[in-house]
């Protein structure tokens, strides 16, 4: 049988323990002494090196060894072409936006070609909002630039919609590119029904389509009534509009504005059994009556006589035959844009330009401004690039009062457009332009010196000065001052040809 016994090791003798500790202390002391000796040797070498070095005086050497001229150095001024300077100093010129996109003209800083395409820049992450704002005084060339941008985009598969053309400038362009210009005016047979169902997106079922259609019609009627009344609708007026619209849709397959007006002014017993909506909707009904029996009669008071074809490369609504009235034109542009709206808000409709020319008219009315702001915010979702054209950036300051909701909406249009193109501005407009765009002092001083067709492009945080270039065929098609350059009447030319040299 085995057993385990714990024993202690023998204790170290006292003499051996003292000897071991003395040996350890001796080793440590030797290592410390050796380290100190090495440090002293390194210090002596460093001191010897410093003593042997020769330092220059603080002011440098004197005489020819100083390598300096005795006086101030003056270099002659050198001037050269931008092409030569771009090669000599390649890192001083902006690299541009690349080569993929629509050719615009020449970058005056680098001399290279300048191209632009909001969808390409968005896909690269260079911008996050595809909308464009163009501002410039009359005759600066902003209209020609807008037409060039959208017509040169058509071969790339883009489509162009102009929901309201107050001056008829885009009619000839639409016809030239194979599109269609729909002219509206008093005495013409053309009718547009803003309550049309329009183009139905393929991905919507019946329930979703009915809800979207009802919301669009209700929003349009409310915006039109508020614009004419120049105030917000009351809850009772909203109810009267909703009931009149529902009753009209229920009783007719093709609802039109006159039916809604009749049901606002004289509600049916089925829609208003208590006869209380007649008074509630009276003012809204008379406001909308202006569209069917007042100065807009004959434009939106019946079924549409033309069909909106979203497959065309360009569709423009020519409003130049309507009398000049700010409120009238604004209401007209709203009705026209509502007629196009179902096609514009189709996510499968491809990439499209929507051109708002003379848009300051819409911005003067809160209801219409809210509709425009909603479209701008949804531009990326629907593949739309909105283009806003006006004369000067201070037009945004004329919208509403300082700090008002309208002013904030107008400013949001500029904030949601990361491409801002400024053509020549008058001297009194420089401050507002610089404040709105965050221009530098150099850029601000550049604006009044820009020539025709030259513009300052601000693409997010980058700046370019671009000379817009036109083909002769484009120049003839885009000319907005043709009457100013028209030939003299034939009878005057004949009269001049019969005069002698002494008569001239």
The 3-class SS string of 51-97 reads HHCCCCCCCCCCHHHHCCCCCCCCCCCCCCCHHHHHHHCCCCCCCCC
341 and 359 fall within a common domain? no
Q: Is the pLDDT of residue 502 over 50?
A: no
Distance from C-alpha of 217 to C-alpha of 209, rounded to nearest angstrom: 12
Q: Which of 31-40, 87-96, 104-113, 328-337 has the lowest mean pLDDT?
A: 87-96
User: Quick one: average pLDDT of 258-268?
Assistant: 87
The 10s digit of each residue's pLDDT in 74-112 is: 778 878 776 676 677 666 666 778 888 899 999 988 888
151 and 257 fall within a common domain? no
Q: What angle do CA 429, 434, 440 make, to 5 degrees?
A: 135
> Cα separations (Å) of 22 from 18, 19, 27?
6, 5, 9
Last residue of a domain, one of 326, 350, 374: 350
> H or E stretch including 224?
helix 206-229
296 and 398 fall within a common domain? no
Residue 106's Cβ-side half-sphere holds a number of Cα atoms within 13 Å equal to 9
Residue 82 is predicted with a pLDDT of 67
The 10s digit of each residue's pLDDT in 266-307 is: 888 777 777 777 788 888 888 888 888 877 777 788 888 888
Distance from C-alpha of 185 to C-alpha of 324, rounded to nearest angstrom: 12
Sheet of strand 419-422: strand arrangement: 113-116, 102-107, 462-468, 454-459, 419-422, 132-135, 384-390, 352-357, 159-165, 314-321, 180-185
Last residue of a domain, one of 350, 376, 401: 350
Residue 42 is predicted with a pLDDT of 92
pTM reported for the whole predicted model: 0.71
111 and 154 fall within a common domain? yes
The 10s digit of each residue's pLDDT in 121-141 is: 999 989 988 999 998 888 888
User: Which residue segment(s) compose the domain that 245 sits in?
Assistant: 182-350
Residue 503 is predicted with a pLDDT of 38
358 and 341 fall within a common domain? no
In a domain, 343, yes or no: yes
Q: Is the pLDDT of residue 147 over 90?
A: yes
In a domain, 8, yes or no: no
329 and 359 fall within a common domain? no
The 10s digit of each residue's pLDDT in 397-456 is: 777 677 777 788 887 888 788 899 989 888 777 887 788 777 888 888 888 888 888 999
In a domain, 406, yes or no: yes
In a domain, 199, yes or no: yes
Residue 50 is predicted with a pLDDT of 85
- Residue pair 469/478 in contact by the 8 Å Cβ criterion: no
255 and 315 fall within a common domain? yes
Q: Which residue would you say has higher pLDDT here, 224 or 364?
A: 224
In a domain, 504, yes or no: no
Percent of the chain with pLDDT over 70: 87
In a domain, 403, yes or no: yes
In a domain, 51, yes or no: no
346 and 424 fall within a common domain? no
The total number of structural domains in the chain stands at: 2
195 and 327 fall within a common domain? yes
In a domain, 93, yes or no: no
Q: What is the mean pLDDT of the chain?
A: 81
441 and 316 fall within a common domain? no
Q: Is the pLDDT of residue 498 over 80?
A: no
Q: What is the CATH number of the domain that holds 425?
A: 3.40.50.300
401 and 296 fall within a common domain? no
338 and 357 fall within a common domain? no
User: Quick one: average pLDDT of 143-171?
Assistant: 90
């Amino acid at each position: 049988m085995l057993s385990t016994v714990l024993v202690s090791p023998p204790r170290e003798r006292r003499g051996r323990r003292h000897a071991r500790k003395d040996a350890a202390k001796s080793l440590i002391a030797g290592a410390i002494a050796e380290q100190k000796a090495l440090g002293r040797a390194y210090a002596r070498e460093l001191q010897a090196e410093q003593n042997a070095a020769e330092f220059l005086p603080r002011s440098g050497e004197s005489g020819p060894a100083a390598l300096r001229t005795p006086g101030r150095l003056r270099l002659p001024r050198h001037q050269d072409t931008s092409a030569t300077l771009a090669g000599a100093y390649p890192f001083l010129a902006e690299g541009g936006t690349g080569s993929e996109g629509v050719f615009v003209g020449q970058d005056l800083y680098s001399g290279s070609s300048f191209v632009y395409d909001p969808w390409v820049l968005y896909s690269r992450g260079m911008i996050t909002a595809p909308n464009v704002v163009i501002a410039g005084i009359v005759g600066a060339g902003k209209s020609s630039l807008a037409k060039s941008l959208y017509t040169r985009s058509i071969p790339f598969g883009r489509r162009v919609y102009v929901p309201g053309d107050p001056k008829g400038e885009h009619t000839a362009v639409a016809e030239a590119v194979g599109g269609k210009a729909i002219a509206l005016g008093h005495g013409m047979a053309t009718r547009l029904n803003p309550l049309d169902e329009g183009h139905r997106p393929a991905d919507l079922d019946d329930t979703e389509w009915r809800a979207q259609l009802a919301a669009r019609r209700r929003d349009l009627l409310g915006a039109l009534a508020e614009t004419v009344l120049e105030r917000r609708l009351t809850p009772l007026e909203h109810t009267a509009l909703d009931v009149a619209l529902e009753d009209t849709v229920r009783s007719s397959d093709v609802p039109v504005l006159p039916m809604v007006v009749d049901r606002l002014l004289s509600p049916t017993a089925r829609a208003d059994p208590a006869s209380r909506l007649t008074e509630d909707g009276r003012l809204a009904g008379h406001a909308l009556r202006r569209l069917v029996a007042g100065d807009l009669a004959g434009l939106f008071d019946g079924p549409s006589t033309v069909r909106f074809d979203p497959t065309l490369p360009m569709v423009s609504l020519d409003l130049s035959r309507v009398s000049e009235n700010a409120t009238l034109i604004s209401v007209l542009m709203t009705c026209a844009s509502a007629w196009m709206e179902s096609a514009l808000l189709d996510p499968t409709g491809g990439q499209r330009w929507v051109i708002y020319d003379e848009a300051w008219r819409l911005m003067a009315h809160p209801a219409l401004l809210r509709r425009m702001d909603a479209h701008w915010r949804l531009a990326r979702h629907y593949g739309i690039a909105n283009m806003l054209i006006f004369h000067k950036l201070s037009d945004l300051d004329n919208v509403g009062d300082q700090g008002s909701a309208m002013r904030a909406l107008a400013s949001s249009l500029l904030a949601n457009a990361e491409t801002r193109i400024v053509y020549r501005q008058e001297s009194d407009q420089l401050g507002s332009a610089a404040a709105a765009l965050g221009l530098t002092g150099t850029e601000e001083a550049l604006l009044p010196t820009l020539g025709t067709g030259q513009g300052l492009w601000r693409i997010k945080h980058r700046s370019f000065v671009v000379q817009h270039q036109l083909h002769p065929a484009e120049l003839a098609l885009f000319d907005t001052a043709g009457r100013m350059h028209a030939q003299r009447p034939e009878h005057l030319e004949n009269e001049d040809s019969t005069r002698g040299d002494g008569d001239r």
